[in-house]
Structure 1
Amino acid sequence: MRTPARSPVMALAAAATAVAATVTLSVDAGPAHAATCNGYVGLTFDDGPSNDHTPALLNALRQNGLRATMFNEGQYAAAYPSQVQAEINAGMWVGNHSYTHPHLTQLSQSQIDSEISRTQQAVASAGGGTPQLFRPPYGETNATVQAVEAKYGLRQIIWDIDSQDWNGASTDAIVQANARLTNGQIILMHEWPANTLAAIPRIAQVLASKGLCAGRISPQTGRAVAP
């Protein structure tokens, strides 16, 4: 038996009901999702930006609902300004990781100043804003380095957990390192290892299973907090 055709009015009414149901579901989903954040962690990626690695990393982070702090080297921020802008556009935060990645504790105060100040300028000129966070290369610091950081209003950020991705850690090991994070903690990763890129979807899953969300790093406390 042939189904009677619906009148235009009936079709409009059905469409309106479907839209209303969709809107209701969307509104209800918001608070429920927000309630899953029982704490925040700081995902950090050093040594960028680059045309070779930054686009894929940003794409993976965005696809998996993650935000991170990108500790950029000034020389690369100057060479790839569009990638600095891409980091900002993807919702990331940009920090200072020195200009040429030297062992700062072996340099004079004026050399340290040059490394930090040129990176501040390079990131700002590329559209990344003026960094508020500084990660010394290799995590090496001393009173002289800290005095220069203070001059530029920078908060020194080391890390609580080293993923060892720079040292050939497997994808499994990188995921397991992220699984050890607790509220407020920060993990060291890098933008160039292929295993780190491969770990991103699983990092998102393991954090979600613990009720942890990727947050920003507070310039006031140096800990991960809500974005």
Structure 2
Amino acid sequence: MRNKPRILATGLAVVATAVASTVTSAAEAAPAHAAACTGYVGLTFDDGPSNAHTPALLNALRQYGLRATMFNEGQYAAAYPAQVRAEVSAGMWIGNHSYTHPHLTQQSQAQVDSEISRTQQAIANAGGGTPKLFRPPYGETNATVQSVEAKYGLTQIIWDVDSQDWNGASTDAIVQANARLGNGQIILMHEWSANTLAAIPRIAQTLANKGLCAGRISPQTGRAVAP
């Protein structure tokens, strides 16, 4: 019994040394990680949120240290507000992708206004903030769509690379599409694609190999920049 305090003290000293070593290692690693980002790309996922797909996608993105812009449909933001909040909690950015995903170029100005304004409200009501970015469904746009975007202070975001995940692209093809990204560029992906979900680990590695990091999309320039 007499030796117990000495043993305890020795044990605490070992633990303290180990903790100090871990903290030092983490501090040393942080600048190296930051220096590895020689450019930024915009990962985007359309058509959410949902209870079926959003949780798994967010888990994968967080696990591999990726952030992305989620272009949400208003109808789904209204139906699944908890998933909108989960996107924000996971460090994602949220954009407007219309309310019902119609062909906006075939609609009147009043219809376009309704699609965009209702989505702004649905996302805000769900806790996702007021979007600054708008992606027109199918990438279809015209002067009417652009005038309504401007009315709501939205920057139109199309894409530089189409992953083709909506068209049945394989996981390999989705990874290869991400490999084509350069600094500032944006890729189109969808939250419901199982092959896209499976590609996340390899997307993270592919970007890291090129010195690229997942960034936010600037409302000023429409390009990917540092978060």
TM range, smaller chain: over 0.9
Give SS of 2:111's match.
Answer: helix
Cα drift, residue 21 of structure 1: 1.1
Measure, in 2, the Cα distance between the counterparts of 1:14 and 1:70. Answer: 46
TM-score when scaled to structure 2?
0.96
Measure, in 1, the Cα distance between the counterparts of 2:169 and 2:11. Answer: 58
Q: Any idea what the Cα deviations from partners look like across 1:15-42, whole Å, max 9, x if unmatched? A: 2222211111111111011111010000
Measure, in 2, the Cα distance between the counterparts of 1:214 and 1:153. Answer: 24
- Provide the residue aligned with 1:111 in structure 2: 111
- Provide the residue aligned with 1:218 in structure 2: 218
Measure, in 1, the Cα distance between the counterparts of 2:48 and 2:177. Answer: 21
Cα drift, residue 148 of structure 1: 0.3
Residues 89-100 of structure 1: pairs in structure 2 closer than 5 A: 89-100=89-100
- Provide the residue aligned with 2:76 in structure 1: 76
Give SS of 1:203's match.
Answer: helix
Q: Any idea what the Cα deviations from partners look like across 1:127-166, whole Å, max 9, x if unmatched? A: 0000000000000000110000000000000000000000
- Provide the residue aligned with 2:205 in structure 1: 205
- Provide the residue aligned with 1:195 in structure 2: 195
- Provide the residue aligned with 1:159 in structure 2: 159
User: CA-atom RMSD, angstroms?
Assistant: 1.2
Q: Any idea what the Cα deviations from partners look like across 1:37-94, whole Å, max 9, x if unmatched? A: 0100000000000111111111111111100000000000000000000000100000
Unmatched 5+ residue regions in structure 2?
Answer: none
Cα drift, residue 201 of structure 1: 0.5
Cα drift, residue 13 of structure 1: 2.6
Residues 3-42 of structure 1: pairs in structure 2 closer than 5 A: 7-42=7-42
- Provide the residue aligned with 1:177 in structure 2: 177
Cα drift, residue 10 of structure 1: 3.0
Q: Any idea what the Cα deviations from partners look like across 1:67-123, whole Å, max 9, x if unmatched? A: 000000000000000000000010000000000000000000000000000000000
TM-score when scaled to structure 1?
0.96
Q: Any idea what the Cα deviations from partners look like across 1:183-211, whole Å, max 9, x if unmatched? A: 00000000111101100000001000000
Q: What is the one-letter code of the residue matched to 2:83?
A: Q
Moved more, 89-98 or 16-25: 16-25
- Provide the residue aligned with 1:168 in structure 2: 168
Q: What is the one-letter code of the residue matched to 1:215?
A: G
Measure, in 2, the Cα distance between the counterparts of 1:74 and 1:190. Answer: 16
Measure, in 1, the Cα distance between the counterparts of 2:178 and 2:200. Answer: 10
Give SS of 2:55's match.
Answer: helix
- Seq. identity, %: 83
Give SS of 1:208's match.
Answer: helix
Give SS of 1:47's match.
Answer: strand
- Provide the residue aligned with 2:133 in structure 1: 133
Q: What is the one-letter code of the residue matched to 1:58?
A: L
